[in-house]
Amino acid sequence: MTFLRDDYLREFDSFVPSLDGYGGKFKPFFGKLFSVGQIDYYAPISSGKQKHTEFRETNLFYKVYLHNETDAEKMVKKPVAVIDLKHIVPVPSAQAAPLAHESILNNDAYGSPSEKSKYLVLLRQELAWVNQNEERIVENAKILHKKCMTIESFHIRKRCLNLRLLEQKARDFSP
């Protein structure tokens, strides 16, 4: 798990996910997808919502289910999380840090000790899913990045973050 230190990129593209999460919670990013020079790309993982049951899973949008669910159960249940590669974020390598479990355990925004433990279990389950699907996620993220950076008429580009601008701003960033 990774915590991205700054969300300075939001001033350049308002669709950059809020990096501080909600109500003092950290927004989790599960590891670096790939790098371009000193810029690392991350994909945010978001809580699954009921509306996501209607979304079609594609090579850019993944639904995360718990390991013990059968295919039939997945069809009627909302995913526990989603990953939308259209929101990959370029970040200078020095601006990402591992998110230690202690950061969650010591943060009152996550609720009671029991709620914190449940959240950590959920994060471990989500991470296990990401690890199982890492190869295809990374491959599709690289393809998306290349098309967004090189093909002006790429039809998905207008629904993605402005990767050209954000990558340049990440290069220009100095803390």
- Which CATH number do you get for residue 57? 3.10.129.130
Which has more pLDDT, 24 or 75? 24
Tell me phi and psi for residue 49, to 5 degrees: -125, 165
Sign of CA dihedral 32, 34, 39, 43: negative
Is residue 131 situated within a structural domain?
yes
Q: Each residue of 54-92: pLDDT tens digit?
A: 888 889 999 998 766 565 555 557 788 999 999 999 988
Give residue 107's pLDDT band: very low, low, confident or very high (50, 70, 90).
Answer: confident
Cβ atoms within 10 Å of 158's Cβ, excluding its own: 9
Give residue 143's pLDDT band: very low, low, confident or very high (50, 70, 90).
Answer: very high
Evaluate if pTM is beyond 0.85: no
Is residue 1 situated within a structural domain?
no
pLDDT of residue 138: 96
∠ CA(38), CA(21), CA(56), 5° rounding?
Answer: 85
Domain of 89, in residue numbers: 6-172
Is residue 159 situated within a structural domain?
yes
The residues, ordered by sequence, that sit 6+ positions from 81 with a Cβ below 8 Å of its Cβ are 45, 46, 47, 48, 63, 64, 126, 129
Is residue 10 situated within a structural domain?
yes
Give residue 123's pLDDT band: very low, low, confident or very high (50, 70, 90).
Answer: confident
Mean residue pLDDT across the chain: 82
pLDDT of residue 74: 55
Total domains in the fold of the chain: 1
Mean pLDDT is lowest, of 41-45, 159-163, 170-174, for: 170-174
